[in-house]
């Protein structure tokens, strides 16, 4: 009878450990019954996305309901500020993103922005933020990082990553620095395919790993792995599934060339094609745990009870079949529970003083304005041409961008047109621009672009427009890699709502009011 009791207890412990390492999502603005039930069975983490957020009061009620079921709970969100926002997914962020903060290069400002962002998260009951991005944007063609990076200089990225971690955690929210070991030198989005970074190990040490070392030194509570293939570390498996990357580099002592990190290792979303289309989510999750990951992030795309049960059962089965050591799963679950216990009771920003205007202040400081000659500020309604690329999955297409709304607020009657690469391909650049000129009539033009250096159709359309109307103002809301063009060129270093507000002020010559 005794061996049977021991077996049942072991099976129950194994199941609870398997649930503990999952960070699933769900749909809706209230927690479903299945999620509350699984919290009672051992689930320790929940991930939130834009679909779960209506307003701060609703979000606080949601997290309160979750904690009523399990007090020691990790509630995580992907809130970078800037282009990637979940708190303000439908209106645009009150905070500029990393690239704007890097352009200012004031670590005290970065720390203050992160502290205020953390305070707002904590007030809503969130205690883990999948941020900051510590990627060095060394490849200008990068389709997924761009303005999510502080910049292209490893030392600049390192000092701002450390400041961000310190600011966020001073408000009681654990930082999850990403995307280890660095997603900046890619031309492929791992949401769609498996990127490959050909850099040798010395280059990785001198470039990609510098910000992560700074984050570890600053005390980041978590690090998120990237789905990247780095042959210098592992010729076969991406970093998320690679013992050489996670156990051998991230965990290894500094004396052995590692980062000496002892906190929580979280995977990037396992439903991303770099993993799901290559290994499958179940096998990928098993391999990630075996490689040294502690928490499996899933739920951005797959957000129902079925995926939780599939992964739970896959992990239990892997232990029983000897593919995943039981102690490795137990250690991972213990790390998750330790962070959940440490974050217990987090709320109200741990006394961080509110700084509601810090995001707009930072956005204004990040502007870089270049004039071709004397420029007369806009004083009457204008016509805005927004050259709009496809949004990457991390940003999403729910969040508005551009300056038209802010200009319309300052100059009522302002109109806008959205121009896409598909439209340019279908009708030709000349026809696209002719349509804009006809619609604009005698109004002044504002052209808004996003990473114009990455989109040949956009560059062609902008050049054609400027040839016809050289008095056009140009707003670059992505990485300002291309030379400034237009009668006035404004680089915002990001497309957050506050970046648009700052740009609209620059175009109209409106000075901020004293209370802003």
* Catalytic residue ranges: 191, 268
Please return the burial class of 157, using the count of CB atoms within 10 Å of its CB with bins 0-12, 13-18 and 19+.
Answer: buried
Cα-based distances in Å from 11 to 294, 328, 421 = 20, 16, 55
Q: State the DSSP string of 483-515.
A: PP-SSEEEE-SS--HHHHHHHHHHHHTPPPPTT
Q: How far does Cα 20 stand from its chain's mean position?
A: 24
Cα-based distances in Å from 139 to 136, 186, 238, 495 = 8, 6, 19, 20
Q: State the DSSP string of 180-229.
A: ET--TT-SS-TTTS--B----HHHHHHTTHHHHHHHHHTT-SEEEE---B
Contact 65, 31 (CB under 8 A): yes
Contact 236, 204 (CB under 8 A): no
Instruction: Mention every residue, 6+ apart, whose C-beta is less than 8 A from residue 220.
Output: 165, 169, 175, 176, 177, 261, 263
Distance CA 495, CA 449 (A): 10
**Two tokens, residue 17:** 């450990």
Q: Is 55 left (phi over 0), alpha (psi -120 to 50) or beta?
A: beta
The SS3 of residue 266 is strand
Cα-based distances in Å from 411 to 403, 509, 512 = 12, 12, 15
**Two tokens, residue 38:** 């699984």
Distance CA 276, CA 311 (A): 13
β-sheet with 74-77: strand ranges across:
45-48, 74-77, 128-129, 174-180, 222-225, 264-267
């Amino acid at each position: 009878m005794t061996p049977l009791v021991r077996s049942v207890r072991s099976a129950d412990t194994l199941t609870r450990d398997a649930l503990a390492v999952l960070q699933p999502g769900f749909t809706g603005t209230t927690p479903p019954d299945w999620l509350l039930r699984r919290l009672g069975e051992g689930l320790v983490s929940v991930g939130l996305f834009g679909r779960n957020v209506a307003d701060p009061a609703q979000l606080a009620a949601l997290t309160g309901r979750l904690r009523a079921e399990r007090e020691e709970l990790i509630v995580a969100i992907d809130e970078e500020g800037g282009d990637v926002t979940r708190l303000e997914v439908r209106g645009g962020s009150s905070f500029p993103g990393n690239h704007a903060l890097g352009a200012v290069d004031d670590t005290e400002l970065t720390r203050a922005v992160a502290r205020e962002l953390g305070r707002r998260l904590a007030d809503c009951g969130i205690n883990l933020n999948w941020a900051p991005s510590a990627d060095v944007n060394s490849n200008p063609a990068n389709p997924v990082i761009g303005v999510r990076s502080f910049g292209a200089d490893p030392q600049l990225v390192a000092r701002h990553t450390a400041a961000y971690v310190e600011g966020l955690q001073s408000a009681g929210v654990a930082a999850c620095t990403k995307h280890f070991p660095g997603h900046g030198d890619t031309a492929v989005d791992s949401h769609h395919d498996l990127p490959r970074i050909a850099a040798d190990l010395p280059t990785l040490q001198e470039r990609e790993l510098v910000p992560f070392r700074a984050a570890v030194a600053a005390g980041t509570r978590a690090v998120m792995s990237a789905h990247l293939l780095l042959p210098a570390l592992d010729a076969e498996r991406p970093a998320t599934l690679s013992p050489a990357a996670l156990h051998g580099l991230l965990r290894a002592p500094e004396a052995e060339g590692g980062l000496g990190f002892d906190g929580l290792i979280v995977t990037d979303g396992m439903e991303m094609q770099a993993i799901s289309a290559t290994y499958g989510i179940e096998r990928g999750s098993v391999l990630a745990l075996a490689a040294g990951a502690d928490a499996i992030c899933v739920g951005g795309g797959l957000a129902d009870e079925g995926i939780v049960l599939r992964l739970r059962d896959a992990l239990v089965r892997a232990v029983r079949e000897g593919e995943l050591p039981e102690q490795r799963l137990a250690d991972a679950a213990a790390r998750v529970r330790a962070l959940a216990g440490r974050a217990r009771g987090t709320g109200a920003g741990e006394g961080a003083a509110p700084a509601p205007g810090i995001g707009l202040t930072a956005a204004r400081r990040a502007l870089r304005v270049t004039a071709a000659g004397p420029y007369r500020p806009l004083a009457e309604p204008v016509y805005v041409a927004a050259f709009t690329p496809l949004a990457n999955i991390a940003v999403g297409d729910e969040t508005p961008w551009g300056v038209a709304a802010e200009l319309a607020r300052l100059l009522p009657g302002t109109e806008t047109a959205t121009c896409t690469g598909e439209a340019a391909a279908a009708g030709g650049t000349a026809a696209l621009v002719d349509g804009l000129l006809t619609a604009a009539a005698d109004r002044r033009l504002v052209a808004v672009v996003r990473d114009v250096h990455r989109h040949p159709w956009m560059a062609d359309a902008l050049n054609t427009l400027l040839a016809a109307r050289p008095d056009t103002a140009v707003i670059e809301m992505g990485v300002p890699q291309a030379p400034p063009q237009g009668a006035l060129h404004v680089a915002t270093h990001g497309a957050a709502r506050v970046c648009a507000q700052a740009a609209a002020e620059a175009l109209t010559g409106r000075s901020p009011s004293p209370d802003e």
